[in-house]
């Protein structure tokens, strides 16, 4: 499932191709749940002659700002990806929706597992989406002290806290395991027993791991592709995730996999 680095990369590579372009108001949709809550005709009407003015990411959402005050919000969930191509090109297998652009291209959403979603948001709805998520890991207001107060205020284990999108936004199973390995913290350690030193190290590890993954275009375990169709390479740099029984790069102890916070969790039982 795409996490912050993959969504950021998908958003950037989509934005590079369509910021400045206009939707022409044509839509071809073969799976209505992808555009939940909208009749394709209604969506088409709202997108006619509407320009994409910018892109950004919030949590695991791709946000395209439009010049009609609305925002197109897309969540890739497990297997969603965007493809921008000529309208004449053949439909792609598992293509769920295609939005026509005035320049003869189409923005297509391909999604094998069909959990991905695309919505048009009004400004209040955008506000609501923003408010539903916690701190961005690179937000300057997220200092170690702020993060410490977040961990102090819960009795949960740290892995569960890292996965909670209302605390930190954009971290999923892969980067939680990677950050905890780097910070040498056991995934089941109670969050409120972490010291400020631990938490400072963990925040640094989170940012380092995410930054490295963004540099490498995210991780591609199976399906993930950016909006040009390229795979990420961060999977080649995993230190804990997906390394069950392989020696820890720090101490040589075999990496263990067990279920923590309902997720398959990889960690070093010796040095974490």
Catalytic residues: 2-3, 60, 263
* Shortest separation between residue 252's beta carbon and Zn ion, angstroms: 7
Residues within the interface to Zn ion (CB under 5 A): 248, 250-251, 253, 268, 270-271
Asked if 14 and 62 count as a contact pair (C-beta separation under 8 A), the reply is yes
Taking the CA atoms of 264, 265, 266 and 270 in sequence, report the sign of the dihedral they define: negative
- 213's tokens: 């993954």
Say which residue the tokens 């539903």 belong to. Answer: 132
CB of 229 or CB of 269, closer to Zn ion: 269
CB of 78 or CB of 239, closer to Zn ion: 239
Asked if 20 and 55 count as a contact pair (C-beta separation under 8 A), the reply is no
* Shortest separation between residue 183's beta carbon and Zn ion, angstroms: 12
* Shortest separation between residue 168's beta carbon and Zn ion, angstroms: 24
Q: How far apart are CA 59 and CA 73, in angstroms?
A: 11
CB of 126 or CB of 202, closer to Zn ion: 202
- 2's tokens: 């795409």
CB of 51 or CB of 271, closer to Zn ion: 271
Q: How far apart are CA 113 and CA 129, in angstroms?
A: 23
Instruction: For residue 79, count other CB atoms closer than 10 A to its CB.
Output: 19
CB of 109 or CB of 267, closer to Zn ion: 267
Say which residue the tokens 């169709």 belong to. Answer: 229
- 219's tokens: 């991780």
Asked if 260 and 157 count as a contact pair (C-beta separation under 8 A), the reply is yes
Three-state SS at 3: coil
* Shortest separation between residue 188's beta carbon and Zn ion, angstroms: 16
């Amino acid at each position: 499932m795409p996490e912050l680095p993959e969504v950021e990369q998908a958003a950037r590579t989509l934005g590079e191709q369509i910021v400045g372009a206009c939707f022409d108001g044509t839509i071809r949709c073969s799976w209505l749940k992808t555009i939940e809550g909208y009749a394709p005709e209604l969506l088409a009407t709202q997108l006619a002659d509407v320009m994409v003015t910018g892109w950004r990411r919030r949590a695991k959402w791709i946000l395209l700002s439009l010049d009609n005050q609305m925002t197109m919000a897309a969540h890739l969930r497990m297997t969603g990806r965007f493809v921008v191509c000529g309208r004449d090109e053949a439909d792609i297998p598992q293509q769920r929706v295609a939005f026509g652009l005035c320049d003869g291209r189409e923005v297509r959403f391909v999604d094998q597992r069909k959990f991905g979603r695309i919505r048009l948001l009004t400004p209040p709805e955008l506000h609501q989406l923003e408010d539903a998520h916690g701190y961005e890991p690179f937000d300057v207001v997220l200092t170690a002290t702020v993060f410490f107060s977040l961990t102090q205020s819960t009795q949960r284990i740290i892995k569960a806290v890292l996965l909670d999108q209302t605390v930190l936004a954009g971290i999923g199973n892969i980067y939680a395991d990677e950050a905890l390995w780097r910070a040498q913290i056991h995934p089941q350690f109670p969050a409120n027993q972490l010291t400020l030193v631990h938490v400072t190290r963990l925040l640094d590890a989170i940012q380092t791991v995410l930054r490295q993954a963004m540099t490498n275009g995210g991780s591609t375990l199976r399906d993930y592709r950016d909006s040009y169709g390229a795979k990420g390479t961060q999977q080649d740099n995993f230190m804990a995730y997906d390394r069950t029984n392989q020696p820890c790069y720090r101490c040589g102890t075999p990496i263990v996999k067990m279920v923590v916070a309902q997720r398959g969790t990889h960690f070093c039982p010796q040095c974490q």
